[in-house]
């Protein structure tokens, strides 16, 4: 009888082990200054920013076709920009159900997902640049608890972008020191790791996520993290490279860096605004700089409305920057465009 009980206990343990979440080896992770894929190889993410799951659902474009097109452009990762106002408008349950489906479509087409809490402003003081970004610490922790618990068994959700664009001083966003912001990010990371210890968290600096200079003396004190910058063309004047190196690029010598928003549009194009106005010259310089530094990136924005847009219509006709980045991504992925 005891022998039978022991065998049953052993079988139960084996079943439990099989049903547990994927082993750490199944996840993207950080080693030194690189992202490492489950096969142990360095992976450079090159992909596209989606506007917002709720917006795309409303537009009738949150479809398998949309994800298939992103993959056809050569993306190996896509970014879900989850706006606080939108998730509350559609409802958390409905939004997460839509994102569940989106993750399945991403997997179907061989792409990873960045989950991005898409707010702009000062999370410490709950002061933001537009009502669509309004949130607070309590809701932010709720979002990341939900994400980490819901996707703790889903390695396709590879990167957890803690907060889209921190910005303080000016624009009525109050004040926050880097030390304070560092502490807030570390608290969010700790919360995520309670539910998903394998999550790779990526952290942005101030100036609308451009400036990573404080990392030199006060880095985030957590493992398995990377850093985020948004080096739009007008953040600095040409020549860019030396300034990029000083402002964020140097970080890539020590930690993985992913620029989760880049992009440009011509001065006379739809939605042209500071800091995105430029030409293909910016595209050429930023991609060459990223190649030199091993920096990952996603281009804003795979949408017809939110500028700088990558597409002019829902037939996925590329905009000016869309033509540049589609060609670049396809070449980097070894794909050939169907219209070439």
d(CA 210, CA 243): 11
Taking only the tens place, the pLDDT of each residue in 237-256 is: 999 999 999 999 999 999 99
pLDDT for the residue 10: 40
Q: Among residues of the chain, what percentage have pLDDT more than 70?
A: 91
Work out the average pLDDT over 88-108: 98
Query: Which of these CATH numbers, 3.20.20.70, 3.20.20.80, 3.40.50.10140, 3.30.450.20, describes 25-333?
Result: 3.20.20.80
Burial profile 205-241: b = 16 or more Cβ within 10 angstroms, e = fewer: bbbbbbbbbebeeebbebebbbbbbbbbbebbeeebb
Q: What are the contacts of 34-41 at 24+ separation with CB within 8 A?
A: 34/256, 34/294, 35/200, 35/226, 35/256, 35/258, 35/296, 38/155
Strands 29-31 and 34-36: antiparallel
**Residue 29 near residue 198, CB atoms below 8 Å:** yes
Decide if pLDDT at 294 tops 90. yes
Alpha helices by DSSP H, listed for 120-173, are 137-150
pLDDT for the residue 179: 98
d(CA 42, CA 184): 29
Work out the average pLDDT over 64-81: 98
Among 214, 211, 206, 253, smallest CA distance to 231 is for 211
Which element (helix H / strand E) includes 182? helix 178-195
- Ramachandran angles phi, psi of 234, nearest 5°: -90, 5
**Residue 236 near residue 230, CB atoms below 8 Å:** no
Taking only the tens place, the pLDDT of each residue in 149-204 is: 999 999 999 999 999 999 997 668 999 999 999 999 999 999 999 999 999 999 99
Decide if pLDDT at 114 tops 50. yes
Among 247, 188, 259, smallest CA distance to 222 is for 188
- Round the CA-based radius of gyration of the chain to a whole number and report it: 20
Residue 313 burial (C-beta neighbours within 10 Å; 0-12, 13-18, 19+): exposed
Residue 338: Cβ within 10 Å count: 7
Decide if pLDDT at 1 tops 60. no
Taking only the tens place, the pLDDT of each residue in 11-34 is: 343 333 434 557 778 999 999 999
pLDDT for the residue 172: 84
Helix/strand/coil for 34: strand
pLDDT for the residue 2: 43
Work out the average pLDDT over 104-109: 98
**Residue 164 near residue 205, CB atoms below 8 Å:** no
Averaged pLDDT score across all residues of the chain? 93
Count Cα neighbours of 219 within 13 Å in the Cβ-side half-sphere: 17
pLDDT for the residue 339: 52
Among 172, 164, 159, 98, smallest CA distance to 133 is for 164
269, 284, 318 from 310: Cα distances, Å:
12, 16, 6
């Amino acid at each position: 009888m005891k022998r039978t009980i022991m065998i049953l206990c052993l079988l139960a343990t084996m079943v439990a082990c099989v049903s547990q979440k994927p082993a750490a080896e199944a996840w993207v992770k950080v080693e030194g200054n690189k992202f490492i894929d489950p096969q142990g190889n360095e992976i450079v993410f090159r992909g596209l920013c989606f506007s917002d799951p709720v917006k795309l659902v409303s537009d009738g474009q949150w479809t398998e076709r949309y994800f298939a097109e992103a993959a056809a452009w050569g993306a190996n990762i896509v970014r879900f920009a989850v706006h606080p106002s939108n998730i509350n408008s559609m409802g958390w349950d409905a939004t997460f159900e839509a994102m569940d489906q989106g993750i399945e479509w991403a997997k179907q087409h061989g792409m990873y997902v960045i989950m991005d809490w898409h707010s702009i402003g000062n999370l410490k003081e709950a002061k933001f640049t537009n009502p669509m970004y309004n949130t607070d610490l309590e809701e932010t922790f709720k979002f990341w608890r939900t994400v980490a618990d819901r996707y703790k068994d889903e390695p396709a959700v590879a990167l957890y972008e803690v907060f889209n664009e921190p910005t303080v001083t000016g624009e009525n966003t109050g004040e926050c020191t880097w030390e304070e912001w560092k502490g807030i990010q570390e608290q969010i990371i700790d919360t995520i790791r309670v539910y998903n210890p394998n999550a790779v968290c990526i952290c942005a600096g101030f100036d609308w996520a451009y400036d990573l200079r404080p990392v030199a003396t006060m880095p985030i004190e957590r493992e398995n993290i990377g850093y985020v910058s948004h080096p739009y063309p007008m953040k600095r004047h040409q020549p860019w490279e030396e300034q990029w190196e000083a402002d964020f690029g140097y970080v890539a010598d020590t930690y993985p860096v992913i620029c989760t928003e880049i992009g440009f549009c011509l001065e006379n194009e739809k939605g042209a605004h500071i800091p995105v106005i430029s030409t293909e010259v910016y595209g050429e310089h930023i991609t060459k700089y990223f190649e030199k530094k091993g920096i990952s990136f996603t281009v804003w924005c795979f949408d017809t409305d939110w500028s700088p847009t990558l597409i002019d219509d829902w037939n996925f006709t590329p905009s000016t920057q869309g033509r540049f980045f589609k060609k670049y991504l396809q070449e980097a992925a070894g794909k050939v465009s169907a219209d070439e």
